[in-house]
Amino acid sequence: MSTNTISGIHHITAIASDPQRTLDFYTLVLGLRLVKLTVNFDDPGTYHFYFGNARGSPGSILTFFPWPGVPRGVVGNGQVSAIAFAVPLDALDFWRERLEVRDTTTRDAGARFGEAVLQFGDPDGLPLEIVATSGADPANAWTLTSIPPSHAICGFHSATVSEEGYERTASWLQQSMGLKSVTSEGNRFRFAAGMPGAGAIVDVVCSPDGSTGELGAGTVHHIAWRAADEAQQAAWRSTLAASGYNVTPVMDRMYFRSIYFREPGGVLFEIATDPPGFATDETQEHLGERLMLPAWLEPRRRLVEARLPHLERPAPSEAR
């Protein structure tokens, strides 16, 4: 793989206002696995949740900074404005009923590029979608006893990025990131990574009359793209810096290494390494079962735990 080819989405990070409510919704309603419970390394007084599939694979990871009481944000231009999950073709009726009986309003958005889309919001109003697609692979899906494996969420389908203008971001995605322009409908333009699989698609919506997004509960903080290893990430950093982008130094996030920068339309991008993964400090069988801290915070564990809100964890017996 060449340096200027992205293989897909690594993870997406959003903001929430209630840790317990967020944990319950994504594990007990959507059936995702809590693959890692840690803290925000830049703000250890708050949690950092990582939800994903059974293995915590890149392309399945949705993370949250759940700041208690943080004001509601505004979803708009310069942000990831919707997160879409992939499910098998015959699963949409199941999810429509499951969400509605759990007081989550849904909206049938019809067919988008030939695939049926169900729209809804999380408890903070974060725009979410479920897409019925032949590309959904349930092999590594995490399921509850109430969610058949044949209907489980199979990682990301795509992310929607909203922009005031289209051309600069579209050109950048193709020429710099190596994504391919595959199709369009109205003001929605679809790009895909060269490698198929979870999180290989990003849609750019051109919204010149739309409002500018404002960070807060119910909005996406950043989207991270995959780098195969640290060498590829270093090459990316050199290329970005040489092109005039204000890119951060490499940051150690324990489960991956990260660099951050803003694309031409203002969306905060991250490039994160696939390794080392989430099974570095917990076994695969016991991911997410206890609060994990970086080495520099471990001596202060009692203080850190005392500052964090109490959480009731989902019972392991609820997982299939």
Q: Domain coordinates of the chain in residue numbers? A: 9-318
User: Strand order of the sheet with strand 220-227?
Assistant: 33-40, 43-52, 61-66, 9-16, 220-227, 268-273, 257-262, 251-252
> What are 76-122's pLDDT values in tens digits?
999 999 999 999 999 999 999 999 999 999 999 999 999 999 999 99
Question: Does 22 have pLDDT greater than 80?
Answer: yes
Under CATH, which number does the domain 9-318 receive? 3.10.180.10
How much of the chain exceeds pLDDT 70, in percent?
Answer: 97
| pLDDT at 197 (0 to 100) | 78
Confidence of residue 317 (pLDDT cuts 50, 70, 90): very low
Using 50, 70 and 90 to split pLDDT, how confident is the model at 282? Answer: very high
Q: What is the pLDDT of residues 167-176, one digit of tens each?
A: 999 999 998 8
Task: Give pLDDT, residue 14.
Answer: 98
- Smallest CA-to-CA distance from 109 within 128, 90, 122, 123 is with 128
pLDDT at 195: 75
Q: Is the pLDDT of residue 191 over 90?
A: yes
Instruction: State the pTM of this model.
Output: 0.95
The answer, yes or no, to whether residue 319 has pLDDT greater than 90, is no
pLDDT reading at 178 higher than 70: yes
Residue 164 has pLDDT above 70, yes or no: yes
Local confidence band at 315 (pLDDT 50, 70, 90 cut-offs): low
Percent of the chain with pLDDT over 90: 89
> Above 60 in pLDDT, residue 1?
no
Residue-level pLDDT at 318: 60
pLDDT in tens, 209-268: 999 999 999 999 999 999 999 999 999 999 999 989 999 999 999 999 999 999 999 999
Residue 2: pLDDT over 90: no
φ/ψ bin of 143: left (φ > 0), alpha (ψ from -120 to 50), beta (otherwise): beta
